[in-house]
Structures are given as structure tokens and as C-alpha cells.
Amino acid sequence: DTEVTQTPKHLVMGMTNKKSLKCEQHMGHRAMYWYKQKAKKPPELMFVYSYEKLSINESVPSRFSPECPNSSLLNLHLHALQPEDSALYLCASSQDPGPRTEAFFGQGTRLTVV
Amino acid sequence: DQQVKQNSPSLSVQEGRISILNCDYTNSMFDYFLWYKKYPAEGPTFLISISSIKDKNEDGRFTVFLNKSAKHLSLHIVPSQPGDSAVYFCAARGGGADGLTFGKGTHLIIQP
């Protein structure tokens, strides 16, 4: 099983809304990631959780707030987003945060901010 | 400054022939390289990887070659099939960074 599950698949939210993206994996992976992908661009790393602790925050604005409740779950809380935050948000996991491991991606959440 | 570069935005190959996708990198600290395939509105699917201690890794129709001195890698797909039509991303990790650094992708189109 190499599945990373993301919900919802699509989300439309207003600039004053609060919403959350969810990600789940049951592969026993100890590193989980959030990436953001704009149209015709490569995925860009946002956050890395290593053994349920935030290890990397790539200068992401505070309107994005990650949370790792346990080793299988990763959330991304959204508040007061801007239209330019509309993108495909991808969750990934890898066995550990070491450099020689593959990352497996979920299907993504297509977010539209109106 | 792009650390992983895929200079061909698109590539068209006839079905049954070999597809060769290229990738260059600038960060000498990268020591693990991966190729992902992506369909529109879906997440990237892992294809194949290679460690910097190797120069070739093969998995079925997919072979990745790494030339460390040139900081260049390539993905060979042979024979190419219609289902291979997708965007292919080259990615790298290493140098203490836990995440992946992606190239801009190459759109591979397999023509019947």
C-alpha cells in the first residue's frame, strides 16, 4: 500500500473563511510534507514534519498553519487566504526524512480562493 | 535560481520508440534523484530513483542514468507507450534539505 489520501479533492473558500486540508497515510512513514503547485509550475515545498515535529517551514505565511496530530495524519489549516493562494496542495510522505528515500504523493486538493 | 533544470518544456515521441528526458542540477550537495510522472489535476506518481553512488538504475521500461561530473541525469523510456503521455518531473534531495527540489517538468507526448 503506497497510498496517501487527501481530502477534500476540491475546495472553494472565501477570503474570510477558515478551512482545513487533511492528509492520511498508513504506511508507517515518519516524514510528511506539504507542497504547493501553481499551474504550469513545479511543486514547491511548504512544510516538513519529521517524527511528528515540524522540521522545516519554507517561509510560508502564517495564514497557512500545519498540524501533525499523529504519525498518520497531517493537516493544513487555512485562514484569511488570498486569491493568489489558489493552487493544488499536495501532501507527501516518506519512510523517514533521510535523503535517500522516495516520497509518495497524494492526489492533491485543488483550492480556489474567491 | 533554479537548482534543478529541465530545459525541454515538451517532447514528442512516436509510439514504440525511445523517449529520453533530460535534467540538469547545480547543487553539488544533491545526492538522490527521482523521477515523477504527473497527469493533470493529480498528484505526482513516483517512477524511479537513483543514488549518487550509482550511475544507472533500471526498472522495467524505465532507466535512469546519472552523470555526476556533468551534474546531469536522464530518464529513458523504451518502448514508449501512449499511456506514458504525461508531465515528467525530475526531483533531487540532499545537502541537509528534507524536501524535494523539483524541475519545471517536461510534457511528454507519445504519438501513435
Give the model's pLDDT for residue B21: 98
Give the model's pLDDT for residue B96: 65
List beta partners, residue A97: none
Q: How far apart are CA A79 and CA A20, in angstroms?
A: 9
| One-letter amino acid for residue A96 of the chain | D
Q: Which of A2-11, A95-104, B17-26, B27-36 has the highest mean pLDDT?
A: B17-26
φ, ψ for residue B9, nearest 5 deg: -65, -30
Mean pLDDT of A98-105: 85
Contact B43 A102 (CB under 8 A): no
Q: How far apart are CA A14 and CA A18, in angstroms?
A: 9
Contact A48 B98 (CB under 8 A): yes
A8 upstream amide cis, omega within 30 of 0: yes
Average pLDDT, chain B: 94
Question: Which residues does chain B have within 8 Å of residue A97's beta carbon, measured at their own beta carbons?
Answer: 98
Question: Which residues does chain B have within 8 Å of residue A112's beta carbon, measured at their own beta carbons?
Answer: none
Contact A99 B104 (CB under 8 A): no
| One-letter amino acid for residue B42 of the chain | E
A87 to chain B, minimum CA–CA distance in Å?
Answer: 10
Within 13 A of A69's CA, how many CA atoms are on the CB side?
9
Mean pLDDT of A81-102: 90
Average pLDDT, chain A: 92
How many other CB atoms are there within 10 angstroms of residue A18's CB atom? 12
What proportion of chain A, given as a percentage, has pLDDT over 70? Answer: 98
Contact A42 B105 (CB under 8 A): yes
- Nearest CA to B39 among B103, B83, B100, B101? B83
Give the model's pLDDT for residue B71: 97
Mean pLDDT of B20-28: 96
Output the nine-digit C-alpha cell for B47. Answer: 517512477
Contact A108 B41 (CB under 8 A): yes
φ, ψ for residue B68, nearest 5 deg: -65, -40
pLDDT band for B42, please (50, 70, 90 cuts).
confident
Cα distances from B42 to residues A37, A88, B36, B90, B107, in angstroms, run 11, 9, 12, 17, 15
Give the model's pLDDT for residue A40: 84
- Nearest CA to A49 among A65, A34, A32? A32
Nearest Cα residue in chain A from B43: A107
Contacts of A56 (CB under 8 A, 6+ apart): A45, A47, A48, B97, B98, B99
pLDDT greater than 60 at residue A1: no
